Structure 1
Amino acid sequence: MANSPVKYAMVDAFTDVPFKGNPAVVCVLEEERDGHWMQEAAKEFGICVTAFVRPASRECTPPENGDAIFHLRWFTPVTELGICGHATLATSHHLFSSGIVAGTRIKFLTNSGPITADKIEGSLSAAGVTSAGGAKDEFCIELDLPRFTVHDCDPAPYMSLFSETLNGVQIKGTKKVSCTEDLIVEIDSGDAVRELQPRMDELRKWPGRAVVVTAIASPDSGFDFISRFFGPKIGIDEDHVCASTHCGLAPYWSSKLGKCKFIAYMASKRGGQLAIQLKEETGRVLIRGQAVTTMVGSLLV
């Protein structure tokens, strides 16, 4: 018996303007599919991340707590991810805006543990971020994600690579994210982050999963810090807006700036804005953003 067509949506996350932020494909499954099929579908879409979401039970809103519960997995064109924030926000936006979920909270069951998404009425301007006013749906989504531990990293093994791969930028500090082995590289200015043109062929040789380049934002920018994410090893040369990397950037910048709430900007060509709160007492990071649906369709295989 042939499988039923799979409905999908393309959603731009962490923006209220179409064709900005970070795009993700959201596939809504009515029946379980195996990982090989998901990987092949993600390869076919060819976008940075494809999310596959499936109700955890026939009832999307269990009467005992009112939360919709879904299984969620994320794939790049070449591998499955352990966690992906922007595709989780895109998935939440689609489930809320399409009416699949009528309530205001979704609990996702993932390989990284449970992640909740809360629908919050109003634009992101309530969190201090200037809105461009492009979103049709005036609501935000707040993700409750795990806090990543960052630890000291000896920069010596990388110094010979910095000048060639990162165009000789001035390095102010390096850290590693324990769970992902991503390398955090702080450089001297936000302008340098924006202008950086790293050599992807060299980044593929670096140890760890990816490289996150970050700097304190200029005082007149309206942001606390600015970053970019490069992950050619996992099939993403540059992730336009990587929410999960802020699970490590939040404690990193908290220790430097002495605060727990941030407005952050990812300076890819598409760009994206995030409102972040580090919850040290619970070991969680709250990340809030908006999203825009740009396409819907069906996968026929």
Structure 2
Amino acid sequence: MAKKLVKYCVVDAFTDTAFKGNPAAVCLLEEEKDDKWLQSVAAEFNLSETCYLIPLNEPTNTNPRFGLRWFTPVDEVDLCGHATLAAAHFLFSYGLVKTDTIEFSTRSGILTAKRVPEPKASNSQDDCPTGYSIELDFPVVQVAEANFNDVLAISKSLNGASVVEINETSKGDHFILLPSGEAVVECQPQIDLIQNCPGRGMIITGPAPQGSGFDFYSRFFCPKFGINEDPVCGSAHCALAPYWRKKLGKCDFVALAASPRGGVVKLHLDDEKQRVFLRGKAVAVMEGSLLV
């Protein structure tokens, strides 16, 4: 029997530079695949996320809608920002949708991605925009004080970093405040110790240095899901936005994901609707077909 081809693209999200930001594999399916196959392909890519798109035929819908699922190398997850950005970039850049808004049906409900034209450079002679960014509409992830009070254990897992606060997200991640953004950058995570900590993963964050152009820095570690460090975790910013809203008294942020690859996330928090709007760029770095 002839093998079918599944088109895929590897996209670096939350960056406009190849080999920076957070890579995700995007696979476009013509039909549903079983979970074992989906997980096996994700393990083969061995990126922090592999996501799967399948078109949904809903003629009453104004915007195109796709089913979207996200897999780490070891498990399926409920929410992923960078792979959703990568999926939207794939659909927009390959001309697979004709609108500026896409809807995704996911385990976290209906999520939207909007193409937002970038203003042209001030010295440009061209009337056309220079490009676009993508804005994602995601649910807020709540942050609350943690029951886990072992500051020493958390500090050891971060190679002795000074811990200011220990909180926990509604997704089960530790949410750790460090004294500064520089401390976030310099942190040397002890992955084995983080893996033995209770909870799912660990977000660390700190205030950005004055004059840096950022509001806060962050990093995310999740070895239990096969991700020692997620280079730019979009969903972590759904918790970071409401937390820094209380700290800084504002709703708009520019955040640096301070992993070695680095990435930039622009955020707007809608307090009333309890939604976070994440904006970033993406660049495709590899494409091909899977034989199935």
Does the Cα contact within 8 Å between 1:123 and 1:140 map onto a contact in 2? Answer: no
- TM-score when normalising by structure 1: 0.91
Shift in Å, 1:165: 1.3
Q: Whole-Å Cα distance in 1 between the matches of residues 73 and 37 of structure 2?
A: 12
Does the Cα contact within 8 Å between 1:225 and 1:263 map onto a contact in 2? Answer: yes
Paired residue for 2:94? Answer: 98
Unaligned runs of 5+ in 2: 122-128
Paired residue for 2:125? Answer: none
Paired residue for 1:133? Answer: none
Deviation digits for residues 157-188 of structure 1, max 9, x if unmatched? Answer: x223133211221111121111x111100001
Does the Cα contact within 8 Å between 2:14 and 2:22 map onto a contact in 1? Answer: yes
Q: Whole-Å Cα distance in 2 between the matches of residues 43 and 159 of structure 1?
A: 34
Paired residue for 2:132? Answer: 139
Unaligned runs of 5+ in 1: 126-135
Partner residue of 2:107 out of 97, 104, 111:
111
Q: Whole-Å Cα distance in 2 between the matches of residues 197 and 41 of structure 1?
A: 31
Does the Cα contact within 8 Å between 1:49 and 1:77 map onto a contact in 2? Answer: yes
For the residue of structure 2 that corresponds to 1:171, the secondary structure is coil
Equivalent AA in structure 1 for residue 235 of structure 2: S
Identity %: 49
Shift in Å, 1:200: 0.5
Shift in Å, 1:46: 1.3
Paired residue for 1:227? Answer: 218
Runs of 4+ in 1 over 4 A off after TM superposition: none
Q: Whole-Å Cα distance in 2 between the matches of residues 258 and 187 of structure 1?
A: 19
Paired residue for 2:16? Answer: 16
Alignment of 1:55-70 (within 5 A): 55-57=55-57, 62=59, 64-70=60-66
- TM-score when normalising by structure 2: 0.94
Q: Whole-Å Cα distance in 2 between the matches of residues 123 and 239 of structure 1?
A: 30
Count of residue pairs the alignment pairs up = 285
Q: CA RMSD in A?
A: 1.7
Alignment of 1:163-182 (within 5 A): 163-178=155-170, 180-182=171-173
Sort the Cα spacing of 1:84 and 1:258 in 2 relative to 1 into closer, same or farther, 3 A.
same
Paired residue for 2:261? Answer: 270
Q: Whole-Å Cα distance in 2 between the matches of residues 76 and 9 of structure 1?
A: 16
1:249 maps onto 2:279 in alignment: no
1:73 maps onto 2:69 in alignment: yes
Paired residue for 2:151? Answer: 159
